[in-house]
Copies of this chain bind each other. A is one copy, B any other.
C-alpha cells in the first residue's frame, strides 16, 4: 500500500521507490537506514498451522538503532501485505525526533513475512527438500506461523521481551498474535486498522486472486520468471487500491477529470471505436499504480499473503473469546480509521471490545481521516501522535 507520493502532479512520474515500494514521506524526512539487514535461517522445520512443514525457512529482517545491554529496548514493527523489512522506508515519520520510535533509545526490528518476495522464504524460493521452486505448492502460512518464526529469530538475537509490537493491516494481525502466542514477551501492542476480514474484504481478496489466476501467463502458478502474469497482478493491485482509499479522497483528488495527460473520455479509443476511449484521471492513476506494482512484486507471493491475511481469525478454533484471549498480558491499543472500508472502524472497535470483555487491558482510539485504510501510511504524523 504505497500511496504516499501521489498528492501532486509530479508524483506519478516519480521513480520507483525501490524494493520496499515505499517512498520517502511527504514531509521529505529522510528514511532512517538500518544498522543491520540480513537473513536468519531456522535450524529446523517450521510446523505450520495447516499441518505441513516449511523446511529451514529464511526470515529476512532489518534492525534500526541498537540493542542496549539490558536487551529491554526492542520494538517490533510488523509490515502489511506488500511491505518489506525496511520499515524506515515506509514508516519514516514514526522515527521523527521525540516521536514514537526513538533510535537513541529504541532498537527497532522488522521481519519480512513468510510468503513474501522481499527476502523471507516464499513461493519464489527453492524448497530444500525437492530442489525446486515452491511455486503453487507453497503452503498456507498463518499469521501465527509468522509470529512463531519471528519468536525464534528474536531468541537468536537474545531478545526476550518487546516493549512494543505494532503494525497496521496485516501488521496489526501479527501484533495481536504476538500478544497471544508470546504473552510474557510483549509489554504493549498497537493494532492498527485491522480486524478479521469481513465479507466485503473476503470478496475483494477473491477477485484479486481471480484476476491473477485468469492471466494466461499465470500458468497454474508455474510461470516463467521472464514471463510473469503482469496484467493479472496489475489488475489485482488496482482492485486492492480501491479498498485502500476512500471515495471522498478519490473525488477530491481526481473527481471526473480527464486523465492529466490530455486523454478525452468522450473521444475515440485507440482502435478508432467507441468501446473504451480516453481515460478519466482516476483510471490513469490506477493504471500507473498497477504498473508500478508489477515492477516490484511477485504474483505467487501476492496470492500467498492474501491467504495469510484472509484466514486470520483469532477466535477460530476457540470455544469463546475468553479462551482465545485469556493468555494476553500486554496492554493493547487498537486504532480504527474513520474512512476505512476494508477494515471498518466499527469492526476494529468490536474486536477491541470483545478482547476487553475477556479481561485484557484494551483501549480503542479512532483516527479521523479521509484517506481510508491507507491513512496509517499516508498520515503517519497523526498516527504517531495517536499512539503516544
Q: Which positions in A face B, CB cutoff 8 Å?
A: 49-50, 52, 123, 135-141, 196-200, 202-204, 206-207, 209-211, 213-216, 220-221, 231-232, 235, 238-239, 242, 247, 250-251, 253-256, 265-266, 269, 271-277, 279-283, 286, 300, 303-304, 307, 310-311, 313, 341, 344
Contact present for B203 and A273 (CB under 8 Å)? no
How far apart sit A272 and B313, CA to CA, in the bound complex (Å)? 23
Chain B residue with the shortest CB-CB distance to A201: B247
Partner of A256, one of B197, B216, B253: B197
Contact present for B123 and A275 (CB under 8 Å)? yes
- CB contact under 8 A between A199 and B286, given known A136-B275, A140-B277, A280-B206: no
Contact present for A206 and B279 (CB under 8 Å)? yes
How often does this chain occur in the complex, in copies?
Answer: 2
Q: Chain B contacts of A280 at CB under 8 A?
A: 199, 202, 206, 310
Contact present for A271 and B138 (CB under 8 Å)? no
Partner of A220, one of B199, B253, B271: B271
Q: Chain B contacts of A269 at CB under 8 A?
A: 136
How far apart sit A52 and B268, CA to CA, in the bound complex (Å)? 10
Contact present for A206 and B274 (CB under 8 Å)? no
Most buried by B among A211, A277, A310: A211
Contact present for A307 and B274 (CB under 8 Å)? yes
Most buried by B among A140, A203, A211, A254: A203
- CB contact under 8 A between A214 and B232, given known A207-B242, A221-B271, A307-B277: yes
- Measured between C-beta atoms, what is the minimum distance from A270 to chain B in Å? 10
Contact present for A138 and B273 (CB under 8 Å)? yes
How far apart sit A367 and B200, CA to CA, in the bound complex (Å)? 22
26 contacts between A and B (CB under 8 A): A52-B274, A136-B271, A136-B273, A137-B272, A137-B274, A138-B273, A138-B275, A140-B266, A198-B247, A198-B251, A199-B255, A200-B242, A200-B251, A200-B282, A203-B242, A203-B250, A203-B286, A206-B238, A206-B279, A209-B276, A214-B232, A221-B271, A247-B341, A247-B344, A256-B313, A276-B303
Q: Chain B contacts of A138 at CB under 8 A?
A: 273-275
Partner of A238, one of B210, B272, B311: B210
- Measured between C-beta atoms, what is the minimum distance from A127 to chain B in Å? 11
Contact present for B199 and A282 (CB under 8 Å)? yes
Partner of A273, one of B137, B206, B255: B137
How far apart sit A49 and B274, CA to CA, in the bound complex (Å)? 12
- CB contact under 8 A between A202 and B282, given known A235-B214, A238-B207, A239-B239: yes
Given contacts A200-B251, A202-B280, 5 further A-B contacts (CB under 8 A): A137-B272, A199-B254, A202-B282, A209-B276, A274-B304
